[in-house]
Structure 1
């Protein structure tokens, strides 16, 4: 079994995602209650922004720490780092 892959930013990412989860729950309730579409769209936009910010924080942390550490180590780690960078950029 591999060790957990944790970063300093993970608690912040989790907090953002939990807020987004709460917003999303509210949006569902708004739709079910027949609230105006403009209000629903505004709240959906807030959910989208929260998730996007969580994703950016996670990716930036990965680039700043995991990839940088591997590049400094050199050798095979550099190839792995380049492959990881290519893989993660598709989510930007």
Structure 2
């Protein structure tokens, strides 16, 4: 772990999203235990999966926008193309 907290502006929203997903997941467990139809359970699992995936994408994009930029530093426009393309392609993760 890092010595100093590593936070970005998006982290509080990401934590909120993950806590909602955590609560939703508990609800899905209750649905399974209650014998709810598989279609209903699958739909809810899909919603949780999407929420967690969006949290992951937000975290990665935020990291690239801040940490990668900080590590690379200022570059001339012609040298930035690879960095900019890398940042763009990660949106498809």
**For the superposition of Structure 1 and Structure 2, which TM-score range results when normalised by the shorter chain?**
0.7 to 0.9
| Superposition TM-score, scaled by structure 2 size | 0.77
- Shift in CA distance, 55/27, structure 1 to aligned 2, threshold 3 Å: same
Question: Which stretches in structure 1 are left out of the alignment for 5+ residues?
Answer: 75-81
Aligned residue in 2 for 1:24: 25
**Offset from partner CA, 1:26-74 (integer Å, 9 cap, x none):** 0000000000000000000000000000000000000000001111168
Q: Does 1:72 align with 2:86?
A: no
Question: Which stretches in structure 2 are left out of the alignment for 5+ residues?
Answer: 76-82
Q: Distance in 2 between matches of 1:73 and 1:8?
A: 22
Secondary structure, counterpart of 2:73 in structure 1: helix
Aligned residue in 1 for 2:59: 58
Structure 1 ranges of 4+ moved more than 2 A? none
Matched pairs, number: 78
| Superposition TM-score, scaled by structure 1 size | 0.78
RMSD: 1.9
